[in-house]
Structure 1
Amino acid sequence: MPHTVKTRPAAEDAAFRTRADEVYAQLKRDVAEFSLVPGDRFTEGEISERLGVSRTPVRQALFRLQQEGYVEVLFRSGWRVLPFDFDQFEQLYDLRMVLETTAVHRLCENDRRIDRHLLDSLADTWLVPVAQRSADGVQVAQWDEAFHCALVAAAGNAEMARVHRDVTDRIRIIRRLDFTQQPRIDATYDEHAKILKAVRANRGEQAAMLLRAHIETSQSEVRKITLHQVHMARTASRR
């Protein structure tokens, strides 16, 4: 008799991938929100029980997070959340700085590749009266990311935009912490408005200077907040 290979129905495969994606997203949130603190150890069984899923999608999600540098597998003893690699984050911020300052210089030139409509659309969010500003940190974090991605995308270099999106994804886990305090939200509105006004006036050097200062301040604040959050999470876990 010919040997037959059993395959799962397409619907079952899709459901499995969906569960693995959901576990991946939840574990990534747990790391970002310090429910899983850097240095924490856990097993696949513990995650499986907590999330109410089988171990297979948990294992798939953990391997994906391992590839992205969030966790590591321990020989015969489960998994561990990796400490934040601030050296790597700083290198990514350096790359982000190069990409974004290059983009704003290009936006101030008369280049046919520039997407003026995308650039002008940013004014609807950032050039608004103070009374119309959002105080929702999660929303502002999303708008902030969109602002910086739009600046690079509007410059018209698809490869530059692709690399910038990758950098953005890799620093998102700590960058979002910059919007947990109201003064930082207010500063983001003020700084984005100044950058956007300089770009629209074709003042490339000023726009790049403002953007560089904006990113450097955010980077410094995020590092301080991250270290504080890790300390608080570890203190709470010991109680």
Structure 2
Amino acid sequence: MSRSAPRPPSLAERIYARLKDDIFEFRLMPGDRFSEGEVAERMSASRTPVRQALHRLQREGFLDVHFRSGWQVRPLDFAQFDELYELRILLELDAVRRLCQRPNDEQPPALQALARTWMVRKENQLQDGSAVSRLDEAFHCQLLEAAGNREMARVHREVSEKIRILRRLDFTQARRIELTYAEHGQILEAILTHRSEEAQQLLKSHIEVSQAEVHSITLHKLYAARQRVERMPE
């Protein structure tokens, strides 16, 4: 029996994806306000799918709605981000511990694939911050998936999405791109050679550096990042 073709995304799903991308790419900034009508006009859509998309983003914690004054991109909540980073560290350290305990013949192929991406010469490293940011998030998510606990991997993906805007901002700095390649390579080498304590310490330090960068974020830095993104060639 042939499999049916995947269902194309609905208009509400497409609007949802575009708005979320606007948030992650700094086209919509924390604290920005707008109305359903403004989104409907920009998306050339009726208000019903726009409202569905907005309420979905509200449920996921990206937007707030205010009586009479419309919608707002949720302001940065650094206390919440600290809690999310703490949870992320616990999940990833457990994943690394599990991976280091596996014998070589049971290591998932995903680890070798990650090594081919990150353990490369400097001239083969990507320099586009947006691309490296996506690869960085995938690296950490794939560690959880490779460890084998699907529920932990699911929670980790949700945490990763909630802090994505901060990690995206981190990769507007060239030095962070170079450091990420080096640190990911060191983490992978320690996992592949079963040096569990070292791998966990390397991973913890790697995430804590990113967490420390969060506390240096200001609205000025966010607007500067948006300007850099807007100047990038298509």
Give the TM-score normalised by structure 2: 0.85
| Alignment match of 2:39 (pick from 14, 24, 47) | 47
Please point out which of 110, 117, 140 is paired with 1:118. 110
Give 1 or 2 for the bigger CA radius of gyration: 1
1:170-204 alpha-carbon deviations (Å, 9 max, x no partner):
22222222211111000000000111111111111
- The total of aligned residue pairs comes to 221
Structure 2: gaps spanning 5 or more residues: 1-6, 227-234
Q: Report the identity percentage.
A: 55
- Report the CA distance between 1:111 and its aligned residue: 6.0
Contact kept, 8 Å, 2:63 with 2:71, in 1: the verdict is yes
Which range is displaced more, 106-115 or 143-152?
106-115
| CA RMSD, 1 decimal | 2.4
- Distance of 2:110 and 2:218 partners within structure 1: 32
1:210 maps to 2:184:
no
CA distance in 2, matches of 1:42, 1:138: 26
Could you tell me which residue of structure 1 aligns to residue 95 of structure 2?
103
Between the aligned partners of 1:124 and 1:30, the Cα distance in structure 2 is 31
Cα distance, 1:39 vs structure 2 = 2.2
Aligned to 1:139: 131
Match of 1:84 in 2: 76
Give the counterpart of 2:159 among 159, 167, 179. 167
User: Displacement, 1:206?
Assistant: 0.5
Contact 1:114–1:155 under 8 Å retained in 2: no
- Structure 1 unaligned regions, length at least 5: 1-13, 235-239
Q: Tell me how far apart the structure 1 counterparts of residues 145 and 104 of structure 2 sit (CA, whole Å).
A: 14
Q: Once the two structures are superposed, what CA deviation does each residue of 1:111-130 show, in whole Å capped at 9, x if it has no partner?
A: 69954311122111011111
TM-score (norm 1): 0.84
Give the letter aligned to residue 116 of structure 1. P
Which of 55, 59, 75 is residue 63 of structure 1 equivalent to? 55
Higher relative contact order (CA 8 A, sep 6+): 2
1:83-112 CA-to-partner distances (Å, cap 9, x unmatched) read 111111111111110011111112111369
